[in-house]
């Protein structure tokens, strides 16, 4: 009896003794359990810092007991590298969905599961991306096992990407096509939300994609408009606008966000001009090339930003001085009769300097798509400039330095300036008044000379003609000024896009009709050629006039044609070429076959624009198993896990 009494008293003491005190820092890590009941704690996982809630709970839905356990888990590592493995596909959607499992939402000390329908929709859209790299769908994203139905009180972890649901005006956009634009400044995440929502509204003609990451890991998002999104169509020219190259020059960024919404809405409304433009053009809008710099500039706020803060990237690099200097190479070659002055390779010495990941990403983008026409949107002045931006005499800071396509570049610059009511205004007592006598346009080097610019690189390394748009003297204007900026630039933005259809276009093929890639299209009297794309199609911007056009390729005869482009002609003339095969290479062919342009060792070919930039070790070739253990190429990402590697990602063979 005495023994039973002692046992009872001992049990009573254990039941009534206070819970162990929570040491500082343990609650944040999810290591504190008060009275055996889990409580909501702050989210401190680095990869989940932007989820649309602030509290989570441990153990999580995978029964991981603390933040430390999560951070060292294979599930968390996978979530952190998925963006890289899938080349930007389905992100940040997959990361946010993963966070909803590893760090689920918590309210009033109660865990809330993510919605099953969100998981099912994302799995349907993203499973092909996993199949491409031979990876199984992650077990912790099992829609039936870890997610809940709406009747159970679930939450949507991707709602942030689609915008705020309580905005009644935006809800109406889904039902009734209207051109409703909110003229506000957009943070990076608001910009991504608007672009994704716009692409979703017009999914039959639009999509978003990432060309890479900024130094701090932000996606460089593009929204594309085309009748066949994601694909180059034969004979359809490619056009691009790039904004926010300098992070503190924000008008261009906002204009491209507004333009994306306008194109979508007006297409749905049946606007014949917009439908004609999108039906016949593939349009790419990159609102922010320097999102890291923008964040720094935005900290000071609109109307208070100076001329420096945020201009450069997180690496302190000016992107418009970071491209290869090919203009100097042109000046050095100009006196050599057979020297090529177009499609100039990137010098090996360029890679010895510091090259921003943003620069590498946009250069790789230019190579992947046969762009015809482009403009970069800046701020700080009101004028349109065109190449060359680097003076033909290094000691002359303001020297007229024309390209062989001076007439065409002037026509392009005038098209934008003439459609802009302020730039075309004759008053000199205004922003941009210094350029009134020049018609609001100027040769870049004549304004001021600099090397490493993006416009010169476009012209000398690719087929693309690019001009620079300086859109106002206030780099970061107040919000109430944004509507006026849109009103002033809308017509000019549309007019310039339509200029991509000037000149000639066609297909170069052999006598059997097979397309010839990298054939050269030459214009007599203009020492600058364009080359054909993979399907043998080409576009050559030209002003009205009479021309002798020739097409030639290694191993084929040269064919010449006379072409007349009337002054009133607004569409590209069709000029096809059929080349006859030769047994020998023609004499005096221009320096270096086209195949040599990218075949020499080129770091850009091996650059992964979607990688975390702390990684520098070479990876196995994508899609190929490693030779030593026959595992997929991505298996090495989990080498640090030892025996805890995610074998659940390996497909059963």
Supply the residues annotated as catalytic: 470
Q: Please provide the size of the chain in residues.
A: 653
Q: SS in 3 state form for 487-536? A: HHHHHHHHHHHHHHHCCEEEEEEECCCCECCCCEEEECCEEEEEECCCCC
Cβ neighbours for 318, distance < 8 A, ≥ 6 positions apart: 246, 311, 312
* Partners of 522 in beta bridges: 550
| Contact call for residues 515 and 579 (beta carbons, < 8 A) | no
* Residue 552 to residue 547: CA distance in whole angstroms: 16
Between CA 94 and CA 83 the distance in angstroms is: 8
Looking only at the bridges linking them, the beta strands covering 41-42 and 504-510 are unpaired
Q: Strand pairing partners for 155?
A: 114
Cis omega (within 30 of 0) for bond into 208: no
3-class secondary-structure state, position 549 = strand
**Residue 556: strand pairing partners:** 581
Contact 494, 415 (CB under 8 A): no
**Residue whose tokens read 């994609």:** 209
Distance CA 225, CA 279 (A): 9
Exposed, middle or buried by CB within 10 Å (0-12, 13-18, 19+), for 538? buried
Torsion on CA atoms 574, 575, 580, 583, rounded to nearest 10: -120
Joined tokens for residue 156: 């949507």
CB atoms closer than 10 angstroms to residue 44: 14
């Amino acid at each position: 009896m005495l023994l039973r009494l002692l046992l009872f008293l001992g049990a009573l003491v254990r039941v009534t003794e206070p819970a162990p005190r929570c040491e500082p820092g343990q609650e944040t890590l999810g290591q504190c359990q008060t009275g055996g009941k889990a409580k909501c704690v702050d989210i401190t996982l680095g990869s989940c810092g932007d989820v649309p809630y602030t509290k989570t709970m441990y153990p999580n839905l995978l029964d991981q007991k603390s933040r430390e356990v999560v951070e060292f888990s294979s599930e968390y590592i996978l979530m952190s590298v998925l963006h890289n493995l899938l080349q930007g596909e389905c992100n940040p959607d997959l990361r946010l969905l993963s966070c909803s499992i590893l760090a689920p939402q918590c309210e009033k000390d109660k865990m809330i599961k993510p919605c099953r329908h969100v998981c099912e929709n994302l799995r349907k859209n993203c499973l092909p991306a996993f199949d491409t790299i031979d990876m199984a769908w992650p077990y912790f994203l099992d829609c039936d096992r870890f997610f809940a139905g709406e009747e159970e009180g679930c939450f949507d972890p991707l709602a942030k990407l689609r915008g705020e649901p309580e905005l009644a005006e935006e809800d109406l956009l889904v039902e009734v096509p209207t051109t409703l634009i909110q003229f506000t400044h957009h943070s990076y995440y608001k910009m991504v939300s608007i672009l994704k929502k716009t692409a979703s509204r017009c999914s039959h003609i639009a999509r978003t994609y990432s060309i890479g990451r900024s130094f701090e890991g932000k996606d460089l998002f593009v929204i594309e408009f085309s009748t066949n999104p994601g694909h180059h169509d034969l004979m359809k020219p490619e056009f691009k606008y790039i904004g926010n190259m300098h992070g503190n020059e924000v008008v261009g960024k906002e204009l491209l966000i507004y333009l994306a919404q306008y194109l979508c809405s007006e297409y749905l409304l049946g606007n014949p001009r917009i439908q004609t433009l999108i039906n016949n053009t593939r349009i790419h809008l990159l609102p922010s090339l320097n999102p890291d710099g923008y964040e720094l500039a935005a900290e000071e706020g609109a109307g208070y930003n100076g001329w420096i803060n945020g201009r450069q990237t997180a690496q302190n690099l000016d992107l418009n001085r970071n491209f290869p200097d090919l203009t100097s190479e042109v000046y050095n070659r100009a006196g050599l009769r057979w020297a090529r002055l177009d499609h100039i390779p990137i010098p090996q010495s360029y890679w010895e300097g510091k090259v921003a990941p943003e620069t590498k990403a946009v250069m790789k983008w230019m190579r992947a798509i046969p762009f015809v026409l482009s403009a970069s949107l800046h701020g700080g002045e009101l004028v349109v400039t065109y190449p060359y931006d680097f003076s033909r005499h290094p000691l002359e800071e303001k020297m007229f330095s024309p390209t062989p396509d001076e007439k065409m570049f002037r026509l392009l610059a005038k098209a934008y300036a003439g459609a802009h009511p302020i730039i075309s205004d004759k008053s000199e007592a205004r922003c941009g008044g210094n350029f009134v006598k020049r018609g609001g346009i100027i040769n870049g080097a004549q304004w001021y000379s600099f090397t490493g610019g993006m416009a010169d690189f476009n012209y000398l390394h690719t087929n693309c003609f690019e001009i620079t748009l300086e859109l106002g003297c206030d780099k970061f204007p107040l919000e109430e000024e944004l509507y006026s900026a849109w009103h002033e630039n809308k017509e000019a933005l549309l007019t310039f896009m339509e200029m991509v259809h000037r000149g000639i276009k066609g297909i170069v093929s052999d006598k059997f009709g097979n397309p010839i890639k990298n054939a050269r299209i030459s214009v007599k009297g203009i020492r600058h050629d364009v080359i054909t794309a993979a399907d043998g199609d080409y576009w050559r911007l030209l002003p009205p006039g009479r021309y002798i056009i020739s097409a030639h390729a290694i191993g084929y005869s040269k064919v010449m044609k006379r072409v007349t482009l009337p002054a009133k002609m607004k569409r590209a003339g069709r000029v096809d070429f059929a080349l006859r095969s030769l047994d020998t290479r023609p004499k005096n062919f221009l320096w270096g076959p086209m195949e040599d342009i990218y075949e020499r060792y080129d770091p850009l070919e091996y650059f992964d624009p979607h990688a975390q930039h702390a990684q520098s070790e070479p990876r196995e070739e994508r899609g190929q198993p490693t030779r030593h253990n026959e595992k997929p190429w991505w298996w090495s990402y989990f080498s640090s896990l030892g025996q805890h590697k995610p074998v659940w990602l390996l497909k059963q063979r």
